[in-house]
Amino acid sequence: MKYIREIIYITFLLIISTSCFKEDDRVEPYDRGDMVIKTIEMTEYYTYQVYFDLENGGVVAVNNKNDWDLGFECSDKGGLIILNTSAFMVAANSGSGNFDQVADTSGLSWKFDKSNGDPDSTAIGKWYSVELSDTNYSRDVYIVNRGYTDLGDLRGLKKIQFNKLTDNGYNFRFANLDGTDEHEFTIQKETILNFTCFSFNDGGQQLSFEPPFSSWDLLFSQYTTLLYTDEGDPYPYLVTGVLLNRRNVVSVIDSVNDFSSITITDLEDKVFSSVLDYIGYDWKVLTGDVNSGNVSYIIVPGRSYFIKNRNGFIFKLRFTGFYNNQGVKGYPTIEFKLL
């Protein structure tokens, strides 16, 4: 009898104590929205670079690819300098620190920035080194070939010498190869950006083309990448495609599941990549007779992408076209949805 009373008493205490806890608040399901279809207007000669935000489903910023030359990393301790690879730019280290004496391109080894975004694979490379609390500068003079405009016109040569890096910016001098039109310039870091842009035009211009890294996911642009001949020889080539925001945007391909039926569960066992050109250019292929000029681009069927954006939201995305309603190339169309 005593045992039964103890059971009843314990049960009573459990009921009372349980009633003291607040019920869990209901979590409203997040609205995933509808499928979104957008056409990106790069135009026929891929003149424009277009920054796109999947979360809000729209274009964040657009700039003419011909308007800049170099990008300067904006993080507090960053010192990376990149080329405008959409203009097919290359650079070479002269190996000399004498700015006035560097006046020709003979014997130079030209390099381009690899499209994977590896900071150790840029044409400018390590122009400074840090030892304990000291920063040392090579002060080597670089020759920069500014590449081509969207219409194929040469943009010319410049020589440049990087003098100093601080938490706030960069200092350098530049001129034409013959020494004319010499200027000294200081770039101020804008820490809300991945890179701030610079143009050699008009004595030097700092340009904030790239929007804040917290506002975009994908960059639609031309860029230089490494391709291979049928014999296996590497050569740089200008392609048109998509680059990831290097600040926390990652992607992984899905070539198995039908796009319309893809769900978040299809991500199992897939590994995201932060490689800058992971989506790249090869979601389309060129068909037809190149010699006659009778060619066109078709979208590779059955290829989808998972993209985790800078806020951690996951989208599925595929390409559905590369032409506008008038049949002009340079207008990639994407279809995407929040999962």
| Arithmetic mean of pLDDT, 256-266 | 95
| 35, 89, 148, 284 from 154: Cα distances, Å | 42, 10, 5, 28
CA distance 238 to 87: 8
| Arithmetic mean of pLDDT, 164-175 | 95
What is the number of alpha carbons within 13 Å of residue 274 lying toward its C-beta?
8
- Higher-scoring residue by pLDDT: 182, 5: 182
> For the sheet containing 205-207, what is the strand order?
81-83, 70-73, 195-199, 205-207
CA distance 62 to 49: 6
Q: What is the pTM of this model?
A: 0.89
How would residue 315 be classed by pLDDT, with cut points 50, 70 and 90? Answer: very high
Write out pLDDT tens, residues 20-50: 434 444 545 556 778 999 999 999 999 999 9
Contacts of 252 (CB under 8 A, 6+ apart): 267, 270, 271, 272, 273, 278, 305, 306
Write out pLDDT tens, residues 47-98: 999 999 999 999 999 999 999 999 999 998 899 999 999 999 999 999 999 9
Amino acid at 168: N
CA distance 336 to 327: 23
Contacts of 311 (CB under 8 A, 6+ apart): 55
